[in-house]
Amino acid sequence: MDIHSEKIIILDFGSQTTQLIARRIREQKVYSEIHPFSLPLERLRAMKPSGVILSGGPCSVYDRDAPHSDPGVFALGVPVLGICYGAQLMLQQYGGAVEKAEKREFGKAELRVAEEGGLFAGLGGEGGRHQVWMSHGDRVERIPEAFVATATSDNSPYAALRHRQLPLVAVQFHPEVAHTLIGTEVLRNFIFGICGCRPEWTMHSFIEQNVAEIRNRVGDGKVICALSGGVDSSVTAAIIHKAIGDQLTCIHVNNGLMRSGESDAIIKFFKETSHLSLIDVDATDFFLTELDGVTDPEVKRKRIGLGFIKIFEEEARRIGEVKYLAQGTLYPDVIESVSFRGEAPIKSHHNVGGLPEVMKLELIEPLRELFKDEVRELGLELGLPEEAIYRQPFPGPGLGIRIMGEVTRERLRILRQADVIVLEEMRRAGWYRKVWQSFAVLLPIQTVGVMGDGRTYEHVIALRCVDSRDAMTADWTRLPYEILGEISSRIINEVRGVNRVVYDISSKPPATIEWE
């Protein structure tokens, strides 16, 4: 069975919640992919989607430079769901009128269902009232003759619509967000009732499909895998090893930017718990030389990424006749490294944006379609121990992007010692598994302090702790003051060169999880 034989394609118009749409669909065990709104119609047709969703977005459909998808999307013969901006675009392209609303709708609203069936099957029929989440300053003022309203709200006379003959539906509210209490039911009605999909995309089927694909592609060739010890690279190694066994050689590169004792612990763990062929490379001096004097975060990321590739290629030559490099690239890495409407991407990921244009090794990225929690589920399905699966994420560029400004051996010492304290106290308090990430950041400033009745002028450590499901969005963790106080006290007392600790209370968006 082809696990992608049924798929929902999401065309992204720039909404901050587009990734949530994909996640909500996958939660129903149906595969989904996100593509830019400008995806050529022929490419979309070749994907043979079971349905298409047009996302929300920050623009107005009547703006001169508003993003418009090819109107041919509606003639593909597959169901299309427009959400917010996507709904307005659908109706405008069919001849309706969208104008700036006299009364905008932002936040919770009451939806009144006018017609049961379709998106609202099982949701109460006429008179059914439900809480939904609105976020729009425009509204549909005139609908095309081919459409009929199926729901209203106080400020949206056309809060939901359907085409009279074609499988085209539109909603002004956002079914993907938790504040829309019927969101899951609406999306299920679209996926299963209108598109006719079946819930067959599981991690078991993912393994079967990808193992077959890897075997078919690699044949009797050799593969090297970048093994950092994190969940992404560990699961990558596991699924490739399942596919080709001893044809895989894993390479752990100590880039000098690892946490205290981490490289030794990783090597020990995999040698004791797996049958992987593993090479350990200490490249500390090489990477610190490459980063000497570098302060720009994008330059850091790309130099680290290029450095990894250089080392992998050298090791591949030593092994002989290696053709493939496996990496633990995830879907959020891909999404964040792709620009929208020609704008700059959020950041270059070391295993996406940092790759040279011409590589001597072909990439294998079996996790490229997965979010982090799906990778953890996959790892458990593959039989990896929980201690490997539930480690907090650690960035590929390591501490290099948690040191603001230049990376030096002394600054690495300070950050490593602070990081140890953060993780020890999070585990001691029982919070390590409760949060997505918790770590220390070394700031590029010094501040005045007092120690032992004497003036100090030393470094500042920022604590970063966030809650998330997939790293696409995150909220800062409301840690108990007692934990914050203990971490701060220990860092200031035990880490030479630090006299101040601050706590980052920024969410993503607008901030990112990592500082660089």
**Which residue numbers are catalytic?**
84, 174, 176
CB 411 within 8 A of CB 403: yes
CB 268 within 8 A of CB 229: no
DSSP secondary structure, 315-377, as one string: HHHHH-SEEEEE----HHHHHHTS-STTPPPS---TTTTTS-SS-SSEEE-TTTT--HHHHHH
The SS3 assignment for 266 reads helix
Tokens linked to 69: 């998808």
Distance CA 321, CA 318 (A): 9
Tokens linked to 8: 């929902």
The sign of the dihedral angle between the CA atoms of 113, 67, 332, 298 is negative
Distance CA 15, CA 451 (A): 49
Number of Cβ atoms within 10 Å of the Cβ of 102: 7
Tokens linked to 461: 């450590």
Number of Cβ atoms within 10 Å of the Cβ of 459: 21
Q: Show the beta-strand stretches assigned E in 164-318.
A: 168-171, 222-226, 248-254, 277-282
Contacts for 210-218: CB closer than 8 Å, 24+ residues apart: 210/239, 210/243, 210/366, 211/239, 211/242, 211/243, 212/243, 214/239, 214/240, 214/243, 214/244, 214/364, 214/366, 215/243, 215/244, 217/364, 218/243, 218/244, 218/247, 218/323, 218/324, 218/364
In one-letter notation, the amino acid at residue 259 is R
Q: Tell me whether residue 100 is exposed, middle or buried, using C-beta atoms within 10 angstroms of its C-beta: 0 to 12, 13 to 18, 19 or more.
A: exposed
Distance CA 336, CA 355 (A): 15
In one-letter notation, the amino acid at residue 379 is G
Q: How far is CA 341 from CA 19, 35, 47, 67, in A?
A: 17, 12, 22, 8
Residues 6+ away with beta carbon under 8 Å from 267: 252, 278, 280
Pure H helices in 60-121:
85-93
Tokens linked to 258: 């690892």
